[in-house]
Chains A and B, each alone.
Chain A
Amino acid sequence: MKRILLIIFALIYTLHLSFAQDVKKDISEMTKEDVMELTYDELLEMPFEDLLKLAEIVGVSLDELYEMILNKDVVSASKKVESSFESPLSTSVISYDEIKASGARTIEEALRLVPGMIVREKTNGNFDVHIRGNENLPPHHMLLYSENSITLVMIDGRPVYNYVHGGTFWETLPIDFEDIDRIEVVRGPSSALYGPNAVSGVVNIITKKQQIKEFKADAHVEGGNQNTLITSIGAGKGITDNLSFRVTGNFQTMDRNSELLYAHDANEGEGGYIARDVLDTLRTWSGLENQWFYVFDPSDDIMKMYPDPINSRDRYGVNGYIFYDVNDDIKIDLKGGYQRSEVLSTTMGDNPTSYAGRVSNTGYIDLHAGVYGLKAQINYMSGWQDIVRADNGFKIDMTNLNANLEYDFHLGDLNLSPGFAYQLGTYDDMPFLEQDEEGFLNGKREISSTAFSLRADYLMFKKLRLIGAIRGEKYSTQDVIYPSFQIIGSYNLKDSHFFRLVYSRANRGPFLVDSYANYRWVREGRPAPGVIYYQGNKDLDLLTMHMIEFGYRVKPVKSIQADLEVFMLKAENYSALYPDSVNLDGFQNVPPTGRPYVNIAYRNIDLTTRQLGVTASVSWVVNKNLVVKVYGTFQETRAYNVISVTPDATVIGMIIDANLRYQLDTINRPTYSLNFKGYEIDEEKNLSTPDFYGGLVVTANALNEKLWINTNLYSYTSHTLRSKYSTVDIESKLIWNAKISYRIYKENATVFINVKNILGQKREFAYMDEIGTLYLFGAEIKF
């Protein structure tokens, strides 16, 4: 019996040994755990080819993972590649993988992953995006002044800014997920680097480059409730070793969760959500259900203005990229594309409802050339936009031309970069005006700017970096040259601590309508004034922001990076559309009936704001399967010389005053100018910017990287939007999203469930939709 047992044992042991050896011999079948169990002696005896295969099985290195997640490369802070740990400005980068993992539906929503960003959803897929706030200024005015006109958004350095009223129409970006390599955000005034409108910061979307010769394609499709469908595809191939191309396409359609439209109350009370057909009945100055609403002009065609009030966003875009790397020193990229978009979002006009459609149809071409130290970029965009759909005067033809030239001189540890920039925008509303109709411009107008810049970047003792940048901008509309500066000192202590101190100053550029408005509004069937004349002003002092910022980054261990920024901002030279004067003699063609006409002009106001805040973020690569990022901003914004009443209230005051004087002097019928002094107050804080906003992102994978779970939270505290129509409190909100993905075939095919706004229905922006929960299902394919 013993012998039998011994034989069985020996057989089992022999089988086990031979089996184990077989496993070790067949490297292609080894698992990560098998490799981890191999001894040094075994590994040292292996041929190098086998060792390389084993390294593949072991997979991603942690160091690389740390670099990929914690310390991504960034170009926007210094216009050259550097690690985000050593970036001299407050900089964040979100990669394509992070964006995809988060389940963001749009580029705007992805910005919720970035510290220092305030992102609120207005209607399904359409967002209000701000860097560090400073929104709704001046308050008690049109919704136009809640738009962010102080952040410069660019695609590969090409501004996608709306120069008509200022701001960014995000839906008009022709690109989508499969175009994007990463999004870089620089917080703080950056005009010295990028020119006008980089006041609160810069969002630079960097597109992918076809890196390999083999054919490569990616596709993303997801759909769900509220008729949501999002698709994005991209494919590229190398033609030769140094010539490659890439093409992409995207399509999105999304519905609101209600087709009602908000109607403003005429007495600055609470308005209400009513159906389009009911809105159409608000043609005369009469109440509805005992409530007084603003009324539409008799000429407004409600059905054309809101042809599909349930639809929030429809857009598509196509893009083509050609990359020609002649050699390491000469590289040429040519990019071009076309987009069409329609959204229902906040109005840029002064409509009785807060909603307006916006339709855009544009194309672009963008040429980049790098020849040794010379960097040249020239791009041209052309198309039309209907900024307030079917409302007279808001539809325009437009072109934008940007040309930049910069040269990098390397003189030892000193880099000197002189630069030249030229911008030209042309805008024409005439092609869309019928006979006798008036637009805002009533002709073709243009704004141009010419700038020279110089940046010096000096590294002392390999640790201390000093940067000075200056740019002088001459706008065609302004008489003076606007200077912008950046002075930075940074110190890198043992690659674990990084300190920086920044002073910068930036300004907003002039806008078309602000400079050239020329519009007469005859207010038939409305209360006084009988005529309002809108007047542009080319002599406006441009909004300017100054910042002092202290930053500290630390890597206490390799797997953690923390970032702290303390900022003090001051903004001045605000301007807005305000009554300028009133005349009872009537406009030229209006009989002097005693009904006043009012001149409304773009005017500088004495408003200034100061911000003090701190943004902190911590990213922790817990291990290869778990990454956690948490970030938040606490800040306070004070506003001085705030005009505490609406423009309409000032008009009424002026008319009463003018009438009184008219009765005293019927012969001269003088013009009375408005003085704001009686209306200005200081405020302890600008109520529109939340005191806190931030988020948490957790990405985990399991089942040998087959199952991926991303859950992200974004939150802001309560705040108040004050418009000329009313004051609206927005409650604090916690937005919870989750995306669960499963790789069904290697890394090539993934299916996922994406749930947005799990905690339910709540309004994020005044007068806009109560954002509901979205359940999306989709797939991603790459090969």
Chain B
Amino acid sequence: MKYRRFIYLAFLFILFQQVQAQEAKFKALFMYNFTKYLEWPSTKQSGDFVIGIYGSSPIIDELGIIAQKKRVGAQPIIVKQISSSSEFNKCNILFLPENRSSKLNEVVSITGKSGTVIITDKEGLAKQGAGLNYININGKQSFEINRKNLEEQGVKINSVLLSLGNVVE
């Protein structure tokens, strides 16, 4: 009986892990696809393409896989876990996991127009300073895009991206 319970719990655990990984995987894939529709300032078009993750998130592992397989233009992708605000401006993309959402204002004020695209993971944050924001509409993963915020972060946007996400102002 104990053995059966263990199998059942193990099964649930594996299922849980799989679904959780799937979600982070799509967020990472979305992020890679965003880069196809954004143009960074020339200062950030050479050297490494740095994706900074503020704090810890399962997305780091997924982005690591993509970084091994893909480049942004000619730039190799580097995925970095960021813990200090001094590193914000070095990033092409700075991702704030949901539990760091409260830092958004601070991040926006530091990065300014330096060409760091801020991506968040909590409903409503595209209105509060994020350029792109992962959302969930009726259980379906999608994203919000704020053109004004992206321009203020120093990047140009291909209008195709606007047609793919939920545009907010």
Interface residues of A, Cβ cutoff 8 Å to B: 36, 40-41, 43-44, 48-49, 51-52, 54-56, 58-64, 67, 328, 462, 495, 559, 622-624
Identify whether the interface residues of B are mostly helix, strand, loop, or mixed. Answer: helix
Question: At the interface with chain A, which of B24-32, B43-51, B88-96, B146-154?
Answer: B24-32
CB-based contact A623/B12 at 8 Å? yes
Q: Which residue of A lies closest to B122 (CB)?
A: A67
Q: Which residues of B contact A622 (CB under 8 A)?
A: 12, 16
Instruction: Say if the beta carbon of B22 comes within 8 Å of chain A.
Output: yes
Q: Interface centre among B98, B127, B139, by most A CB within 10 Å? A: B139
| Closest 8 A/B residue pairs (Cβ) | A60-B139, A64-B136, A55-B141, A61-B23, A48-B33, A56-B140, A55-B26, A495-B99
A10 vs B26: C-alpha distance in the bound complex, in angstroms?
35
A543 vs B66: C-alpha distance in the bound complex, in angstroms?
65
Instruction: Say if the beta carbon of B19 comes within 8 Å of chain A.
Output: yes
A480 vs B161: C-alpha distance in the bound complex, in angstroms?
64
The A-contacting residues of B in range 1-47, CB under 8 angstroms, are 12, 15-16, 18-20, 22-23, 25-26, 29-30, 32-33, 36-37
Q: Which residues of A contact B29 (CB under 8 A)?
A: 43-44, 51
Instruction: Say if the beta carbon of B81 comes within 8 Å of chain A.
Output: no
CB-based contact B30/A51 at 8 Å? yes
Q: Which residue of A lies closest to B20 (CB)?
A: A62
A559 vs B19: C-alpha distance in the bound complex, in angstroms?
13
Q: Which residues of B contact A623 (CB under 8 A)?
A: 12, 15-16, 19
A48-B164, A62-B23 given; A40·B142 CB < 8 A: no
Q: Which residues of A contact B127 (CB under 8 A)?
A: 328
Q: Which residues of B contact A36 (CB under 8 A)?
A: 18, 22
Q: Which residues of A contact B139 (CB under 8 A)?
A: 59-60, 64
Question: Which of B19, B37, B66, B142 is the one whose CB lies under 8 Å from A55?
Answer: B142
Question: Which of A48, A328, A462, A624 is the one whose CB lies under 8 Å from B19?
Answer: A624
A67 vs B22: C-alpha distance in the bound complex, in angstroms?
17
A51-B30, A622-B12, A624-B19 given; A40·B141 CB < 8 A: no
Question: Which of A40, A60, A67 is the one whose CB lies under 8 Å from B140?
Answer: A60
Q: Which residue of A lies closest to B18 (CB)?
A: A36
Q: Knowing that A40-B65, A52-B142 are A-B contacts, what are 7 other residue pairs whose CB atoms are under 8 Å apart, sorted by A's residue number?
A: A48-B37, A48-B161, A51-B33, A52-B164, A62-B23, A63-B121, A623-B15
CB-based contact A40/B99 at 8 Å? no
Q: Which residues of B contact A64 (CB under 8 A)?
A: 136, 139
Q: Which residues of B contact A43 (CB under 8 A)?
A: 25, 29
A44 vs B15: C-alpha distance in the bound complex, in angstroms?
24
CB-based contact B164/A44 at 8 Å? no
- 12 residue pairs of the A-B complex, CB under 8 angstroms, read A40-B69, A41-B69, A48-B30, A51-B26, A51-B33, A55-B26, A55-B30, A56-B141, A59-B139, A63-B23, A67-B98, A623-B19
CB-based contact B69/A55 at 8 Å? no
Q: Which residue of B lies closest to A557 (CB)?
A: B16
CB-based contact A462/B102 at 8 Å? yes
Q: Which residue of B lies closest to A61 (CB)?
A: B23
CB-based contact A58/B20 at 8 Å? no
A462 vs B26: C-alpha distance in the bound complex, in angstroms?
31
Q: How far is the CB of B157 from chain A (nearest CB, A)?
A: 14
Q: How far is the CB of A624 from chain B (nearest CB, A)?
A: 6
CB-based contact A61/B136 at 8 Å? yes
A52-B164, A61-B23 given; A44·B32 CB < 8 A: yes
Q: Which residues of B contact A41 (CB under 8 A)?
A: 69
Q: How far is the CB of B39 from chain A (nearest CB, A)?
A: 16
Q: Which residues of A contact B140 (CB under 8 A)?
A: 55-56, 59-60
CB-based contact B16/A62 at 8 Å? yes
Q: Which residues of B contact A62 (CB under 8 A)?
A: 16, 19-20, 23
A61 vs B140: C-alpha distance in the bound complex, in angstroms?
7
Q: Which residue of B lies closest to A68 (CB)?
A: B136
Q: How far is the CB of A322 from chain B (nearest CB, A)?
A: 23
Question: Which of B15, B66, B98, B102 is the one whose CB lies under 8 Å from A63?
Answer: B98
CB-based contact B66/A44 at 8 Å? yes
Q: How far is the CB of A457 from chain B (nearest CB, A)?
A: 15
CB-based contact B23/A44 at 8 Å? no
Q: Which residues of B contact A56 (CB under 8 A)?
A: 140-142
Q: Which residues of A contact B37 (CB under 8 A)?
A: 48
Q: Which residues of B contact A60 (CB under 8 A)?
A: 136, 139-140
Q: Which residues of B contact A61 (CB under 8 A)?
A: 23, 136, 141
Q: Which residue of B lies closest to A49 (CB)?
A: B164
A48-B33, A64-B136, A462-B102 given; A58·B26 CB < 8 A: yes
The A-contacting residues of B in range 73-99, CB under 8 angstroms, are 98-99
Q: Which residues of A contact B65 (CB under 8 A)?
A: 40
Q: How far is the CB of A770 from chain B (nearest CB, A)?
A: 39
Q: Which residues of A contact B66 (CB under 8 A)?
A: 40, 44
Q: Which residues of A contact B69 (CB under 8 A)?
A: 40-41, 44
